[in-house]
Chains A and B, each alone.
Chain A
Amino acid sequence: MSAGRVLYKCGRCGRVFDLFQLQVLAPRIRCPYCGYRVIYKVRSPVVKKVKAI
């Protein structure tokens, strides 16, 4: 997985897909596999540096 690629996860079936699959397989914003309309962004695997202020 590259750092720039954003992944999405279905809120019901839990399958992971990217933006391309989302646009091609589903006409609207919904899971391309089960059609569920709640979709989460998957946290990028990069370590994130945050200043503790």
Chain B
Amino acid sequence: MLGEVTGLKIKILEYDDRSIRFLVENIPLALLNAIRRLTISDVPSMAIDYVYFIENSSPLYDEIVAHRLGLIPLTSDRALEKYGPPEECRDNEERPDCYARLYLEAEASDGTKVVYSGDLVSDDEDVQPVYKNIPIVVLGPGQKISFEARARLGRGREHAKWSPVSAATHKYVPQIIVNSEKCYGESCAKCVNVCPKNVLKIKDGRLVVEDELSCSLCRQCEKVCPTDAILVSWKPNSYIMYVESTGVLRPERIVLEASRILEEKAEQLLSELEK
């Protein structure tokens, strides 16, 4: 099924700080899906693992505060090289290159005070909360909170907080073929109205496919067409992949790391087989 991958081509469709959408041509689905799954479960990132509470008189229990802290995304782009791998660092607090420390000490004098993720003081400038205004806890008058949190690299397979992506998907590349001889054009236009993604338009009285890539292959247009003039199909071995980062790593980095991990895994398998 896999065979040889030849003539692989990548075209970036959308790209920003948080997400990447790209078209891959001539790639087997199994390979692309393996990469997609590895972005979710195997690409390491930083997240708080343990919290040492010194004081907490806030309305939330220590465990709830710790849980919320664990979910805060921490910048990991440089931490990936700096910190030890998750497998070696798990519960290994003695190793110096495993844990980053984040401190927080807050007290509300009079009136309530919201403690934000930006109030965390990190001892490593490469490991910082991605978003500075996530509320952690609300303190009432006179209440105090003080703790030290330890963050380490982890993988999504251990806990979802270590997963660097909030969405990783792929879909077929749609191809919509309109038979203009059968199509009634403007006088019918049933497919134009039924399409949930607004892919089809009427231009100069004729039906045109305007935004082919955003088609979700739902085939509502085929169903509604009285003359079977429209056909929804897809290109073989071409896919559109979408990766949305939680902010911990750059989106392209996540895909690159996932591909590298897949390569490592394949090499491991090969060396085991050769033994």
Contact = CB atoms under 8 A, between A and B. Distances in A.
Contacts, number: 39
- Quick one: which of A43, A47, A51 has the most chain B CB within 10 A? A51
A52 B69 contact: yes
A43 B147 CA distance: 14
Interface stretch (B59-67, B169-177, B204-212, B257-265): B59-67
Interface in A1-30: none
B57 interface: yes
A25 B66 CA distance: 39
Contact of B66 (A43, A47, A51): A51
Contacts of A47: 52-54
B26 interface: no
Contact of A49 (B50, B70, B159): B50
Interface residues of A, number: 8
A52 B149 contact: yes
Contact of A50 (B47, B55, B62): B62
B63 A50 contact: yes
Interface in B150-168: 159, 161
A52 B52 CA distance: 10
B24 interface: no
Contact of B52 (A43, A48, A53): A48
A52 B70 CA distance: 5
B48 interface: yes
Contacts of A52: 47-51, 66-67, 69-70, 149, 161
A50 to B, nearest CB: 4
B198 interface: no
A35 B50 CA distance: 41
Contacts of B57: 43
Nearest to A49: B52
Contacts of B52: 47-50
- Quick one: which of A48, A49, A52 has the most chain B CB within 10 A? A52
A53 B67 contact: yes
Nearest to A51: B50
Contacts of B216: none
Interface in B7-53: 47-53
Nearest to B150: A52
Given A50-B51, A50-B63, A52-B51, 18 more contacts: A47-B53, A48-B62, A49-B50, A49-B51, A49-B52, A49-B53, A50-B53, A50-B62, A51-B51, A51-B66, A52-B48, A52-B66, A52-B69, A52-B70, A52-B149, A52-B161, A53-B66, A53-B70
24 contacts: A43-B56, A43-B57, A47-B53, A47-B54, A48-B62, A49-B50, A49-B51, A49-B52, A50-B51, A50-B52, A50-B53, A50-B62, A50-B63, A51-B66, A52-B47, A52-B50, A52-B51, A52-B66, A52-B67, A52-B161, A53-B66, A53-B67, A53-B70, A53-B159
